[in-house]
Structure 1
């Protein structure tokens, strides 16, 4: 998981060839294996694993006795994992703001011919009864922060696939989450295909933009409580660095628990390219107009030379940067690359 942010839903914030590769990563064949006839809500894939599958988790052990055909999910990230593997969940939490499905997710749904996903209202948390009513063969929960309170109520319904250590709720990469789920679903070969396709999208974009290589960047998120220096030294290399950018020397001054930047220290944000996002709009600690009108901010080389870009939050790009998953990771590259190209060019 990206360490850019921790609050899902608040958007806390992380060309033709790219689009083609994106579709490869985001869908999954709907071709059915000869010996499996998936029930409504699931699609079987080639590359089945052997069953039964035994998986340890932070609360005990999970055994999946036979290839699951009905899969329930307890988070949006888990839904993305299922869809990327070519599996349409029988039920998933309703996380869409105003019913609008993100572009990357809709692409996968359309590719699988799934129509509208069946959802439960997650306003008050996981809806155990709604999940039980669908009689799932397995429940995916490798991308949730709620498993500590959910596990005991979910495990009597169906085998729960989740992380082996509670700390992994924050630390697992999307690739690791995908592989864990894929093992339980007998789709390990498909997971490797998805990971390879996503990596190719990124490497192709980097090769197409050699001007990115070696440019320093700062990624800044305006939260309600502070202006946050998110590309701090200990932050794992993310999509910016995979595309060729490097952290500034100021990154070493910041850490996950020490990343606030005061108005008096806005010079700390300067870099070859400065990237900002305002996921809370005017509810941030400072409004976009106030920050961008600040004299010290205006004196930054990145600002003066127009090497500044705002990452939009209304399109799910900022939240996808914060929370990469198998569907949005290649989509982020597709949408972010032209923004970065303009910033590097000073346009």
Structure 2
């Protein structure tokens, strides 16, 4: 499964602001010069590079010029590092390209990415036909079955433990990929820029500090309490918000909220998203028209907001990466500001 295919694991997570702080200048021709000009800044990095992973070792003998990706998250990593992949999975399936990805493509002068149909999984032959120097797979859940077929094509850069498919931060994934690409300094630059931008956004909104919040996702099977106690501090907390005392009642395997217990959602600020629209367990109209929901203090005082999903914001919050992070804050901060102000 591509990390962006499913929204069932939606969760609050780290994000940053700025206009594509993670993207460098790049090539306009993915096949002839797929590595961006920004990549040259790290040209002195030593090769060969040997990277162990859960299935073997990736031996990258020289600085890669042709990079293939096997997930949308890996494509985001390449673009954030200033590299246009020679081939990527077709995550959009005909839908409009996410705004933050289009920004990166425009900045790199890349036009439209060459893609393969990943409906039935990774298209090994399509990847092999591009003769990549390296394959990025640090952001996929499918490496357990893909590695044996990908590794004969090119060195596969992926995680060192199978459990890391879920646990690595976007910063860790970025740094792993950067090491294989000779772009350690560029990765550090991207991370530092995002951290500064996040801090700047928090400083610009002191009214956020200390406000409790609940982030709720309406899934097809349940209403999910996503800002549970064990959830790593994410975009909301980096901006100054704090979890409610009810967060201790929920966890990654126990986060369903019944209609009888909607009072569990109350907080200084209540945020709900409907990534499945009317295919959720309850429609937006039904939930927001529910008498118990309307009785919540956050709702009565207008400290309630819907986080948009049609523009990929909810998805980008769930699956953060160096490319989407700036755009998330850009889109989310105004929503939060209005909710705090009760507008």
TM tier relative to shorter chain: over 0.9
Matched-pair contact (CA < 8 Å) for 1:11–1:316: no
Greater than 3 Å deviation, 4+ residue runs:
10-14
Quote the RMSD (CA, aligned, Å): 1.6
The equivalent residue for 1:22 is 19
Which piece of structure 1 moves more, 98-107 or 119-128?
A: 98-107
The answer as to 2:282 corresponding to 1:289 is no
Within the candidate set 16, 24, 32, 1:39 is matched to 32
Within the candidate set 126, 137, 150, 1:130 is matched to 126
For 1:309 and 1:194, the matched residues in 2 are separated by 30
| Secondary structure of 2:40 counterpart | coil
The answer as to 2:170 corresponding to 1:208 is no
Matched-pair contact (CA < 8 Å) for 1:29–1:45: no
| Secondary structure of 2:68 counterpart | strand
Q: Residues 205, 106 of structure 1: CA spacing in aligned structure 2 closer, same or farther, 3 A cutoff?
A: same
Shift of 1:197: 1.2
The C-alpha deviation readout for 1:70-126, integer Å capped at 9, x for no partner, is 000000000000000001000000101424111100111111111111111111110
Within the candidate set 222, 228, 236, 2:224 is matched to 228
Within the candidate set 188, 194, 199, 2:190 is matched to 194
Within the candidate set 325, 333, 337, 2:333 is matched to 337
The equivalent residue for 1:35 is none
TM-score calculated relative to the size of structure 1: 0.93
Matched-pair contact (CA < 8 Å) for 2:3–2:319: no
Q: How does 1:21-100 map to 2 (within 5 A)?
A: 21-25=18-22, 27-30=23-26, 39-43=32-36, 44-48=39-43, 49-100=45-96
TM-score calculated relative to the size of structure 2: 0.94
Shift of 1:255: 0.4
Structure 2 runs not aligned, ≥5 long: none
The answer as to 2:321 corresponding to 1:325 is yes
Structure 1 runs not aligned, ≥5 long: 1-5, 33-37
| Secondary structure of 1:8 counterpart | coil
The C-alpha deviation readout for 1:181-217, integer Å capped at 9, x for no partner, is 0000000000011111111221111010000000000
Shift of 1:279: 0.8
Q: Residues 128, 31 of structure 1: CA spacing in aligned structure 2 closer, same or farther, 3 A cutoff?
A: closer
| Secondary structure of 1:181 counterpart | helix
